[in-house]
Structure 1
Amino acid sequence: MPTFKELGLKQELLDAVEKLGFTEPTKVQELAIPTILASQRDLIALAQTGTGKTGAFGLPALNQIDTNSDNVQVLVLSPTRELAIQIARDLKDFAKYQKGVKTVAVYGGANISTQIKALNNGCQVVIGTPGRMLDLINRKKLDVRNVRTLVLDEADEMLNMGFQDDLDAILADTPREKQTLLFSATMPKAIAKMSAKYMNNPEEIEVGERNAGAKNVEHHYYMVHAKNRFEALKRIVDMNPDVYGIIFCRTRRETSEIAAKLNKDGYDVDLLNGDLSQAQRDDVMNRFRTKELELLVATDVAARGLDVNELTHVINYNLPDDLEVYIHRSGRTGRAGNSGIAISIIHTRETRRIRDLEKMSGKDFIKKEVPSGEEICGIRMLDLIDTIKDTKVNEDQLQKFLPQAMEKLAEMDREALIKKFLSVEFNQFLDYYSNSNDLNAQGGNDRKGSRNNDRGGRNDRGGRSGGRDRGITEAGYERFFINVGRRDGLNPVRLMGLVNEQLNGSKPDFGKIDLQNNFSFFEVETGYEGALTNGVTGAKFEGRDVAVERAQDDKKSNSGGGGRSGGGRRKSNDGGFPKGKRKSGNRKRSRK
């Protein structure tokens, strides 16, 4: 393993790296830095989040800056303001001993006047989001005509977020002769097109397998009926007392609903979505980084750029529509040499998508059973006992109260004392899970079933699945009729897009989609009837007026289950299981 000095960096940068405590370059840094410094060739670097990408492009870019000029020489584009802020902070640390080097971060959600003032004072490095950067260029406050190094960080995510037009406009103002560095975690076809459009004979380096997740992350999935998804989430959290992670949701509304429910049930949780102001976002992130929060409920867009290295879990409340996004999500855990677990809660028609993820990532996904209430209580009891054993006793302060306590408890033997203590701390928890149902569901393509089911089932978006009779709706779903079909150019993807668009971006779970020539049937998770019949009806599809109505009632299966509402770690002021509080040095829980 070469040292940073052997990579060809200036002494000022080496001093800064040493000050930051970095001793050896990461793999992507080892490959990228000398490549960037040795020539002006463009570069595509494929590497997962948390592998040191900022240093891989930031250090050589800073190494080549002309400090005698105040022209903008390095332009770094990132998909989110959080990531832009993080990159700017890292580059400032790297440039700590470089006299005359100035960096400015520009992004939405902050005062543009302050950013304009910083640009007017002169700088060589600008880091920002595409929207704000283009706004400043159009106002003629940001001059990119002298850019020497252009960095597209998280390029795949910028395309997923719809920044193609902004990128085109920004790059149109930059010089033809520049070095373009494209960093991405995945390599979808859109990235290949981007490199062909923006880059000149790029060199390519790859750290790890293409489109693969971090090697020290395990991938688990739980299969439940849609109506039991939230209850399954709570059980998964309860069976992991030391959980410190992110719950990924599809929509802002979903993050709000889940965070509110978990807060009500006494979990240390907050949400992160695009509705938050920058001040609110900073507050949430500060509490999460200091482990005041054990869980963060977030959308993919809001979570981009989070820099937290100790996450134990990433939980997919829903699988993302674009499976490559899963790679980004799972990459939030298992960072900086730590191990982690990526968990997905799926419904019975998504086993094919799990197979697709396995094929894409080269990882085995382990099917787990949602634990019973008895199993969870056993886990929580042992965790409580471990917490007690690890609790430090302040002998000096306790000594004055000990005689009275010993006198009070003198008549109780050891076993009775233990029973009483556990009952005080545990009764409500035991009560909540006393009659809990089995939440596990078996899909038609479940590995526990016959392999013949895999051959006989079809994908999760339509047709027969698992031998279930046509016309029988799965528990947790409702079946609807729509007056367009194959003849109109309808397919499952266009149908879901039509529904999601008319529901203002809300993305319900879809079940079976049954396409006919002139009409179709589709299943959607329970609770969307009003939104569908009122919101989608009247829309246009290929010139036709769309009509949606509830299909005739189907026989419903009685599978599923689910516990009572509430539960989990109940708040102590409700008389329930006390809300957890992290202790310094560990994440065991104690009574407040």
Structure 2
Amino acid sequence: MSLFESMGLRSEILSAIQDLGFIEPTPIQEKAVPFLLESDQDMVALAQTGTGKTAAFGLPIIQQIDTNIKAPQALILSPTRELAMQIANDLSNFSKNLGKINIAVLYGGADIRKQITALEKGAQVVVGTPGRTLDLIKRGKLRVNEIQWLVLDEADEMLSMGFKDDLDGILKDTPAEKQTLLFSATMPSEIVSIANTYMSDPYEISVGKKNTGSENVEHHYYLIHAKDRYLALKRVADINPNIYGIIFCRTRMETKEVADKLMQDGYNADALHGDLSQAQRDHVMARFRGKHLQMLVATDVAARGLDVNDLTHVINYNLPDDPEVYIHRSGRTGRAGKKGISITLIHLREKGKLRDVERKIGKKFVKVNVPQGKEICEKQLFNLIDKVEKVEVNDEQIAPFMPVIYKKLSWLDREDLIKHFVWVEFNRFLTYYEGAKDINVDENGYDERRDGRDDRKDRKDRKNSSRPERGGKGRRGDYQFSRFFFSLGKKNGISKRSIIDMINQQMPGKSVEIGSIEVLKGFSFFEVDNRFEKDAIKAFKNARFKGQKVNIEIANHKK
């Protein structure tokens, strides 16, 4: 008898998950499923993404749904459209043999009339994003006053995306006697606050330590000069010819630039950022999920809620300011028991920030040298030979062309034929890496004077940008920035990441270059491309962060 069978799940559900390839439960499933089948106590579950959380709450809920009641019995909230759709799809697969369970999925950017129709047909399980869910509650189309289960999935992400007010608006209409299930990868103070406010003596399940990275992920870093960041990225891709990963960048502009460079250089890559329409985003994600793309370049905001299996690598083009962001990034690989690698590209002045992340995740990063040209060429060569050796040849399709091919190549002996073939396929790597320099930085023998020369232009730009100009504007590189006073600071839970996220969320569809960000105890400053000065003021007019009103105004530039 398997552990799934011993949990008391119905035969129809066991059959469905067997068809899905479920063999043994994951740790979170092993702990949560029996508990939720036997108890109506609230529960807090701490586990990384990709640990099987949907089945952990979905299987027991599906089993206990009363199919005779044509009204919402379970409400599952997730931070993004993609995750909501994935959860709904998984629940449909789990319940396919039950036949009578209706599932509605609610999210913005789609026809609300179709979602209302799905509710009116008697949806017993509702999966939604907070904004659209609250909208339908206010319209009187979704009634949550009799739900028995409320699930907050990726709760920390929902809070970091500014959904606190929406969650409050939804939860106030739910019955006190419901069972509330909170799933989160990290346990910041805001999650503790939600648990204390909306849950009654919750039972806690933890898979691994709080706020730590996945056990299946190796954490590597490459130490380079900042100017060599893109060169290092290409070498990482070249030394891993079968890479299937996400490259995280800080801003939408950087995401576009990196993805464009990769595509121009012949790599199988594309970008995911806030300027894409929903149709464009769906197209990119379909290609990536289908493995027609090897590398997806994305911002943290754009990548939220993506549920993609079998990623071999996560690459941090920049080290995030918030260690918890790193936890979420790295947790996208090494899932479902598989191994993964999280790579971070840093320069020497970021070593302190790297140590902060190490302390947060409870793991040491391994310094790895950026591969040299000879090493990359060797790896690519043998990868090519492996492909040739293992390719399946369709004799019937190729047969008509072979006589001409044999005749054309008859003058070459076996050894020369192999050499010609390898050279045609392999020449670009040999040519590109011929004489390629070593871009590694030696931590011990680091030449600060040399680095100073490398970064002299950056320092000059920073110096120039600090000179006041009319209207609180400063110039850096090719951009002229407007500097804003931001009314919240560290004591309000603000970080650099929070401000970047808010700019992206409050100004969707706009490609806004973000300048320097300074977070102080009670307030902050940030810069954006001055072409968007009026847009920023308008966008932040009614903005809130974790329930707190945000005020911004043009600041006098630093002197």
Which band: TM-score by shorter chain?
0.7 to 0.9
Tell me, in whole angstroms, the C-alpha distance in 1 between the residues paired with 2:229 and 2:298.
Answer: 17
Q: In the alignment, which residue of structure 2 is the partner of 1:547?
A: 557
Q: Amino acid of the residue matched to residue 474 of structure 1?
A: D
Q: In the alignment, which residue of structure 2 is the partner of 1:436?
A: 436
Q: In the alignment, which residue of structure 2 is the partner of 1:379?
A: 379
Q: In the alignment, which residue of structure 2 is the partner of 1:401?
A: 404
| Alpha-carbon shift at residue 122 of structure 1 (Å) | 1.3
Aligned-CA RMSD value: 3.8
Kindly tell me: are residues 256 and 424 of structure 1, through their superposed partners in 2, closer, same or farther at Cα, counting changes over 3 Å? same
> Secondary structure of the equivalent of 2:410?
helix
Q: In the alignment, which residue of structure 2 is the partner of 1:564?
A: none
Q: In the alignment, which residue of structure 2 is the partner of 1:584?
A: none
Provide TM-score, normalisation by structure 2: 0.81
8 Å contact kept, 2:227–2:454: no
Tell me, in whole angstroms, the C-alpha distance in 2 between the residues paired with 1:24 and 1:395.
Answer: 41
Tell me, in whole angstroms, the C-alpha distance in 2 between the residues paired with 1:185 and 1:59.
Answer: 20
| Alpha-carbon shift at residue 52 of structure 1 (Å) | 1.0
Tell me, in whole angstroms, the C-alpha distance in 2 between the residues paired with 1:285 and 1:491.
Answer: 35
Q: In the alignment, which residue of structure 2 is the partner of 1:262?
A: 262
| Alpha-carbon shift at residue 543 of structure 1 (Å) | 8.5
Kindly tell me: are residues 15 and 295 of structure 1, through their superposed partners in 2, closer, same or farther at Cα, counting changes over 3 Å? same
8 Å contact kept, 1:28–1:47: yes
| Alpha-carbon shift at residue 271 of structure 1 (Å) | 1.9
Tell me, in whole angstroms, the C-alpha distance in 2 between the residues paired with 1:224 and 1:234.
Answer: 13
Q: In the alignment, which residue of structure 1 is the partner of 2:200?
A: 200
User: Any idea what the Cα deviations from partners look like across 1:374-406, whole Å, max 9, x if unmatched?
Assistant: 332232223223333334456672652354144
Tell me, in whole angstroms, the C-alpha distance in 1 between the residues paired with 2:312 and 2:211.
Answer: 22
Q: In the alignment, which residue of structure 2 is the partner of 1:84?
A: 84
Q: Which moved more, 1:66-75 or 1:493-502?
A: 493-502
Kindly tell me: are residues 399 and 79 of structure 1, through their superposed partners in 2, closer, same or farther at Cα, counting changes over 3 Å? same
User: Any idea what the Cα deviations from partners look like across 1:156-202, whole Å, max 9, x if unmatched?
Assistant: 11111111011001101111111100001111222111211211110
Kindly tell me: are residues 302 and 358 of structure 1, through their superposed partners in 2, closer, same or farther at Cα, counting changes over 3 Å? same
Q: In the alignment, which residue of structure 2 is the partner of 1:304?
A: 304
Tell me, in whole angstroms, the C-alpha distance in 2 between the residues paired with 1:79 and 1:8.
Answer: 31
| Alpha-carbon shift at residue 88 of structure 1 (Å) | 0.4
Q: Amino acid of the residue matched to residue 557 of structure 2?
A: A
| Alpha-carbon shift at residue 84 of structure 1 (Å) | 0.2
User: Any idea what the Cα deviations from partners look like across 1:222-241, whole Å, max 9, x if unmatched?
Assistant: 12222222221111111111
Asked if residue 424 in structure 1 is aligned to residue 427 in structure 2, the reply is no
Tell me, in whole angstroms, the C-alpha distance in 1 between the residues paired with 2:265 and 2:300.
Answer: 24
User: Any idea what the Cα deviations from partners look like across 1:250-282, whole Å, max 9, x if unmatched?
Assistant: 233322222222111111112223333333333
Q: In the alignment, which residue of structure 2 is the partner of 1:11?
A: 11
Kindly tell me: are residues 499 and 70 of structure 1, through their superposed partners in 2, closer, same or farther at Cα, counting changes over 3 Å? closer
Q: In the alignment, which residue of structure 2 is the partner of 1:317?
A: 317
Provide TM-score, normalisation by structure 1: 0.77
User: Any idea what the Cα deviations from partners look like across 1:77-116, whole Å, max 9, x if unmatched?
Assistant: 0000000000001111112233432110000111001001
Which consecutive unaligned segments of at least 5 residues does structure 1 have? 451-465, 550-592
Q: In the alignment, which residue of structure 1 is the partner of 2:342?
A: 342
Q: Amino acid of the residue matched to residue 357 of structure 1?
A: V
Tell me, in whole angstroms, the C-alpha distance in 1 between the residues paired with 2:551 and 2:453.
Answer: 27
Q: Amino acid of the residue matched to residue 407 of structure 1?
A: S
Q: Which moved more, 1:79-88 or 1:376-385?
A: 376-385
Tell me, in whole angstroms, the C-alpha distance in 2 between the residues paired with 1:146 and 1:498.
Answer: 35
8 Å contact kept, 2:377–2:429: yes
8 Å contact kept, 1:2–1:30: no
Q: Amino acid of the residue matched to residue 66 of structure 2?
A: D
Tell me, in whole angstroms, the C-alpha distance in 1 between the residues paired with 2:247 and 2:439.
Answer: 19
| Alpha-carbon shift at residue 342 of structure 1 (Å) | 0.8
Tell me, in whole angstroms, the C-alpha distance in 2 between the residues paired with 1:85 and 1:291.
Answer: 19
8 Å contact kept, 1:32–1:57: yes
Q: In the alignment, which residue of structure 2 is the partner of 1:460?
A: none
Kindly tell me: are residues 467 and 199 of structure 1, through their superposed partners in 2, closer, same or farther at Cα, counting changes over 3 Å? farther
Which consecutive unaligned segments of at least 5 residues does structure 2 have? 469-482, 538-549
Kindly tell me: are residues 382 and 13 of structure 1, through their superposed partners in 2, closer, same or farther at Cα, counting changes over 3 Å? closer
> Secondary structure of the equivalent of 1:438?
coil
> Secondary structure of the equivalent of 2:349?
coil
Tell me, in whole angstroms, the C-alpha distance in 2 between the residues paired with 1:507 and 1:223.
Answer: 25
8 Å contact kept, 2:88–2:127: yes
8 Å contact kept, 1:248–1:300: yes
Q: Which moved more, 1:489-498 or 1:125-134?
A: 489-498
Q: In the alignment, which residue of structure 2 is the partner of 1:588?
A: none
> Secondary structure of the equivalent of 1:297?
strand
Kindly tell me: are residues 433 and 177 of structure 1, through their superposed partners in 2, closer, same or farther at Cα, counting changes over 3 Å? same
Q: In the alignment, which residue of structure 2 is the partner of 1:459?
A: none
Identity %: 53
Kindly tell me: are residues 277 and 497 of structure 1, through their superposed partners in 2, closer, same or farther at Cα, counting changes over 3 Å? closer
Kindly tell me: are residues 216 and 167 of structure 1, through their superposed partners in 2, closer, same or farther at Cα, counting changes over 3 Å? same
Asked if residue 184 in structure 1 is aligned to residue 194 in structure 2, the reply is no
User: Any idea what the Cα deviations from partners look like across 1:47-100, whole Å, max 9, x if unmatched?
Assistant: 111111001111111222222211211000000000000000111111223343
Q: Amino acid of the residue matched to residue 262 of structure 2?
A: L
Tell me, in whole angstroms, the C-alpha distance in 2 between the residues paired with 1:359 and 1:433.
Answer: 37
8 Å contact kept, 1:227–1:475: no
> Secondary structure of the equivalent of 1:408?
coil
8 Å contact kept, 1:148–1:177: yes
| Alpha-carbon shift at residue 313 of structure 1 (Å) | 0.9
Aligned ranges 1:491-510 → 2 under 5 Å: 506-507=513-514
